[in-house]
Structure 1
Amino acid sequence: MKTKRLFDENVMQRECEAVVVRTEPYHEGYAVVLDQTVFFPEGGGQLSDTGTLTAGEKALPVKHVHEKAGEIFHETKEPLAPGTKVVAKLDWPVRFDHMQQHCGEHMLSYAFYKLFGAHNVGFHMSADMVGIDLDREVDWQQALQAERFTNREIQEDRPITTKLVPAEEAAKMNLRKFNDKLTGILRIVTVEGSDSCTCCGTHPTSSGMVGLVKIFKVEKHKEGSRISFLCGREALERVEQYMLAALDASNLLSIKETELPEGVARLQQETKELGERLTECTGKLLEYRIEEMKAHPATTEAGHAKFVFLESDMTPKEAKALAKRLGEIPEAFSAIFYQNGERLNYMFLATDGAELSCQQVIRTVNEAFGGRGGGRPESCQGSAICPADWREKAEALMSAL
């Protein structure tokens, strides 16, 4: 028995009375089939409705709805006995959001088709973004032109109608797109004087209900473009979020919102220059420390020079530069321990004549810190979770060499 789809007859209906036809186990809960429903099942790129099934005093949340062979299954945590009378009630804000996104997608797709001959070949709707894939590339200026075109048609509050027609008749209609493999009775959704295509999803009764369309990203995708956008309430909330972020950033930089790109570029350049100066100063400081160590040398048991650095504030780039400099010192063993976030990194070098195997050293260090690493006799590196007493442990291990 197929479920009667009340949303096809009246998309604005928010609840209905129904009778449970059957209930079956589904995943970690149950799937309830009703004789009729206002719940739209996920399909055609549109997310499913949510809401409740209420039987007497008991209201069961419906978190997802799917369809199979004409039957619509309402997914619940508890079963309902066949014959039970229920009130099926939508989470209306969720339904209305879905209608806004889906209808906005139709209208925006029509704009790209009308203005640039670009066809919608893919539709994606997630909880936080809607996307369409076009079969040709468009740039940002073209995307904004399509956005303006769509919002004008939304503001004109054009009527939106649906009708059922045989596939043979639909093939002769002036539709934006038509799949000639479709058969039987098809549902045609038409925005008056604008888009018209086959669709099984839910749409408001007029374009004004979409509110607005706002594009947020234009990307190259395969041989065409992917357009990411939102409509209605979700678009407004996202724009508000971006606006507040821009206001905060402009206040922090003491500039106008429209000057943010230049302000960020200036900050990036200043950060780059400061980084270069810091690297230069750090290099000079490490060179000074190396010379100090040479003046008061520590030695290995074999009598060769030993350089040990225990750094709580060093970047991997700085450590690599220091290792390169230490590698220029003949007949020397060098160890660098430095903290990087929650990790302790370590590097060991033995230049010609040092008579100490870095592989042997790193095995001992790995065992002491529970770390991993390896390399060659003359050069090894590894890392471990950084313990609070890493400095004391490292100093003791290096003193024993």
Structure 2
Amino acid sequence: MQKECEAEVVRTEPYHGGFAIVLDQTVFFPEGGGQLSDTGTLTAAGKVLVVTHVHEKAGEIFHETKEPLEPGMKVQAKLDWTVRFDHMQQHCGEHMLSYAFYKLFGAHNVGFHMSADMVGIDLDKEVGWQQALQAERFTNREIQEDRPITTKLVPAEEAAKMNLRKFNDKLTGILRIVSVEGSDSCTCCGTHPTSSGMVGLVKIFKVEKHKEGSRVSFLCGREALERVEQYMLAALDASNLLSIKETELPDGVARLQQEKKELSERLTECTGKLMEYRIAEMQAHPAATKAGHKKFVFLEPDMMPKEAKALAKRLGEIPESFSAIFYRNGERLNYMFLATDGAELSCQQVIRTVNEAFGGRGGGRPESCQGSAACPEDWQAKAEALMSAL
């Protein structure tokens, strides 16, 4: 497998704030066909340029760098082999896993996605986790058998007669066929190792419904191993925190969720009782608007939106009253205003004043408005002063 070559600069063009260099030959693979591009270096006249990305346009391959090279310069083009080998593992693993789904379940690969942190294939049939694990085990057995991987160039007419996993009958000319001995065979222009053992392993991380079929997300080789290590360490940390075995984590998390739900319900109940007490206390010693109607003002430094809505609903049951609820939730100050029947005060006028004072936004109807703003440190004093003026 060639990792570097000597080449000559054909031309350099400005490209996206940097430069794109065309060589007379290259070892770099341009992004395409679902595979990410190679990276590496171009060395010329003692200067080393980092190739950050490679793309193809109109049959020419452009090496993207931050500095230019003059036409005619001799260069040493060298791959970042760690990146190339990783791409080969992911790409070849995708071929082999796609073959497993086809062989075992008759599911065809109709889409391929390769990003920096995950690889995905789209299947034309729905598959579940048990089927996915069967396909994974099938693929890993073929990887462990270290089967030879070969490529050959054949005319499209001949390729159409071959036993390929998939074939696009619109393809013409000379086609490149990539084959895993005794297993997958299909047209492909991407990079591959010379044997299946070099893929290392395949590990599926997610199976989900996608359109009329499924999307399977996975990783191969070093990337798969590192991701499994991350998950293992996370599981160990979680099991230590909960003082349970790693295999008991689902039940442990379910118990925590149930406990959280019960505590939340109890907290809501206690908060409701506290608010009822405060409302009763306010009614016993009522404040009043300038028009003489009952006025209730709540300044809450830590309240959830659900609690604020419940409080507003309760205050809305008090006739001939005006109510204001200011509550902080994270970095935001939220406010709600209610005027029940008989209260001669427009909430729209109030919220305009409050929005202006806090630089907030919001609105509503004459009887009900709400809004929010960034929460200043002196929000309670400012809100109290605004409400005292009503």
Q: TM class by shorter-chain length?
A: over 0.9
Q: 1:66-116 CA deviation, whole Å, 9 max, x = no partner?
A: 122332111111111111000001111000000000000000000000000
Q: 1:27-77 CA deviation, whole Å, 9 max, x = no partner?
A: 222111111111111111111100000002100010111122332111111
Q: 1:255-307 CA deviation, whole Å, 9 max, x = no partner?
A: 00000000000000000000000000000001001111111111111111111
How far is the alpha carbon of 1:394 from its aligned partner?
Answer: 0.4
CA distance in 2, matches of 1:98, 1:43: 12
SS at match of 1:37: coil
CA distance in 2, matches of 1:73, 1:397: 64
CA distance in 1, matches of 2:377, 2:320: 33
CA distance in 2, matches of 1:165, 1:51: 31
Aligned residues: 390
How far is the alpha carbon of 1:385 from its aligned partner?
Answer: 0.9
CA distance in 2, matches of 1:86, 1:67: 19
How far is the alpha carbon of 1:308 from its aligned partner?
Answer: 0.5
CA distance in 1, matches of 2:93, 2:267: 51
How far is the alpha carbon of 1:207 from its aligned partner?
Answer: 0.3
CA distance in 1, matches of 2:337, 2:311: 11
CA distance in 2, matches of 1:72, 1:301: 78
CA distance in 2, matches of 1:225, 1:14: 36
CA distance in 1, matches of 2:363, 2:26: 65
Query: Which consecutive unaligned segments of at least 5 residues does structure 1 have?
Result: 1-11
Range with bigger deviation, 69-78 or 171-180? 69-78
Q: 1:347-379 CA deviation, whole Å, 9 max, x = no partner?
A: 111111121111111111111111111111111
Name the counterpart of 2:283.
Answer: 294
1:200 aligns with 2:178: no
TM-score when scaled to structure 2?
A: 0.99
SS at match of 1:19: strand
CA distance in 2, matches of 1:125, 1:390: 49
TM-score when scaled to structure 1?
A: 0.96
CA RMSD of aligned residues (A): 0.8
CA distance in 2, matches of 1:400, 1:270: 45
Query: Structure 1 runs of 4+ off > 3 angstroms?
Result: none
CA distance in 1, matches of 2:233, 2:170: 48
Name the counterpart of 1:326.
Answer: 315
CA distance in 2, matches of 1:26, 1:300: 67
Range with bigger deviation, 224-233 or 16-25? 16-25
CA distance in 2, matches of 1:67, 1:304: 75
Name the counterpart of 1:361.
Answer: 350
Q: 1:223-265 CA deviation, whole Å, 9 max, x = no partner?
A: 1111100000000000000111110111001000000000000
CA distance in 2, matches of 1:217, 1:348: 46
CA distance in 2, matches of 1:397, 1:31: 62
Range with bigger deviation, 372-381 or 196-205? 372-381
Name the counterpart of 2:142.
Answer: 153
CA distance in 2, matches of 1:341, 1:195: 54
How far is the alpha carbon of 1:340 from its aligned partner?
Answer: 1.0
Range with bigger deviation, 100-109 or 381-390? 381-390
CA distance in 2, matches of 1:162, 1:365: 72
Range with bigger deviation, 271-280 or 38-47? 38-47
SS at match of 2:228: helix
CA distance in 1, matches of 2:163, 2:9: 41
How far is the alpha carbon of 1:23 from its aligned partner?
Answer: 1.5
CA distance in 2, matches of 1:393, 1:317: 24
